[in-house]
Structure 1
Amino acid sequence: MSDPGPSGRFGRFGGRYVPESLITACEELEEAFRDAWDDPAFRAALSQTLELYAGRPTPVTPALRLSADLGVTLLLKREDLTHTGSHKINNVLGQALLARRMGKTRLLAETGAGQHGVATATAGALLGLGVTVFMGERDMERQQLNVFRMRLLGAEVVGVSSGSRTLKDACSEALRHWVAAADDAHYCIGSVMGPHPYPWMVREFQRVVGEEARGQCASLLPRAVPDVVVACVGGGSNAAGTFAGFVDTPARLVGVEPAGGAAVAGGEPGVLHGFHSYVLQDEDGQIQEAHSISAGLDYPGVGPEHAHLADTGRATYVSVTDDEAVAAVARLARTEGILPALESAHALAWVLKAAGTPDLPAGSTVLVTLSGRGDKDADQLARLI
């Protein structure tokens, strides 16, 4: 999980598949990111902002009661405790600072569950940048709280009525808008997807999650490194950031997809939103709709680096159902007093299912990244629990 180089390739995946009108914008962004990432002053400014504004470092919390129930040692990396309530703020603050360094005056973003949109609106308010967020109308209906938060923070929220009216369609609309607005606007992609340099850049901005967790686990565990590291995967940014901290250790890496949108397990290689990866598609190569109760995982593709990690066997990708994720929300809330986002609950659901089996034997240590908090899902959960 290092620099993919100018080609932006992770093995056979990745690349840059965009209209000619966006090639220059992507090249300029890559050059600007490389320059900033090599600049100690930029790195120091980002670290200070993450600490003083976003609330880093986030703790690793031992889930004592649930561990006793499951017969494994369960540790939770608490991204739900960041400002705005999810890991999205790490990447957005990095991209917003980069956009300002590039002289951009506006941020464009897509959002599914709304957390990336809220984080982008927050960063725009902090740095004095205009913000336009594209969001599928179906997601706006199930994430009304986050729509309100974005607008209160000063962002324009544009409903997308095409296709399934979810994250895939919001991404498509944001890319189309960027074509006409690239001179003054930066497209702040929310996950490890899109054309190069986005999958690499977003992973680097999220690497802080895994690097913090590795140091924290070293002080909590006798063997320093957990046996298994687990994170939910839609596009896969929280998982990429988490895995980056442990990829060079013996820890087993497990990404958990929604059963209705399992691109690694059920997809085929294809191109979507400017990158080559595993994508849900029919026999004619047409993109199929994903389904997940979680708006943030409702996406028919997966980040190209995850596709490469799956191909090489370094990470394993599994799936859980909507019902299993909802049950995991209730279980964590009632045993540990922590309300996770439906996205994060997918990772936890796999642990609940695997504990005591060969996949997660009794006595194992497992780290789960809680990518966000569940307040945003309260209306949905109230109808289900």
Structure 2
Amino acid sequence: MLIKAEFEQRLSELRKRMLSEDRQALLVFSLDNLRYLTNYSGEAAYGIVTLEKVFLITDYRFMEQAKEECFDCHLKCRDRDQQSLGQAIRQVLDAQGITRLLFEAAHINTQVWAGIVQELNGIIYTASAGLAEDLRKTKDEWEIAQIRKAAAIADQALQDSLPLIKPGISERAFALELEYRMQQLGSEGLSFPSIVGFGPRSALPHCIPSSRALAEGNLIVIDFGAVINGYRSDMTRSFVAGKANAQQRNIFDTVQRAQQAALDSLHAGQIATAVSAAASNVLQASEFASHTSTGLGHGVGIQLHEQPFISPVCHDTLQTNYVITIEPGIYIPGYGGVRIEDDVVVLADGYSFISHAPKLFELEI
């Protein structure tokens, strides 16, 4: 169960960073960051985190939800017909004596921000460099437990759905069945629109399911995830419908070795570029070097794609309790593709799998 102490810890860390930038408050525009900091899961809300308090500005449609969900928030109900957002924000700032402000520039459009700025005369305001996003890299025990629950639902849904993979089923029909099973098992909607590709379309990394029917011998890529308490899972499994030929087996084995090389290099204190290079070295040494991608993985949590991004240009030092994906792939246009993706939690001496679906390749049809 999520407890107040976990939110207090998150806010304490955020306030330390606010102080290091000599600012008294942070304007929070990201709904994902609001959920992380206050537990609010609704819409049309804005947060102000000061060094002592947290304020949530919303309207009558979401007040009851905010009362039920938020931990220690001062709720302000704004009449949108009578008070602009800028006026509501200024009212809180003046009441709290705030003159030095950070704001989430990456999460507000220029038109809305222009209206807010009109009300900030005398306030020193500075764009925030992703303070909350940086905190969200490290997951607490409750967060990891939610991702594990979401991944377990995805694991079970795939196991239940695989018998449906027979010649003639369409990508779209299989995706719908898989998504239905996840929600039957308790998923709060979808982590993201499921990716299902058969045959040559499996070479599309983000294949939108179509009416294409499965044929014997097709490569199959399935990328999907569940959601629990706002936290997401993300897993890809690749198959062949029936017996694999030598080329298909070679592709699958190469991707599997690349993933294992990355996992073998993974531990707290490791640089993200080194993990990326471990997989890349395997892929680039193969005959499929020209059909690979540079992005190896990403953080996952409240958002599907969070920091850090595991790539040749990410120099982050990975820390204990980062939850990331490791997902190398090979994509050959006109032929097909293979991707294997798992969610893992970084440990001091290695990693722990969060997704557990078997990595079988040949499907009996």
Q: Give TM-score, length-normalised by structure 2.
A: 0.28
Structure of higher RCO (CA pairs closer than 8 Å, 6+ residues apart):
1
Between structure 1 and structure 2, the one with the greater Rg is 2
Flag the structure with higher helix content. Answer: 1
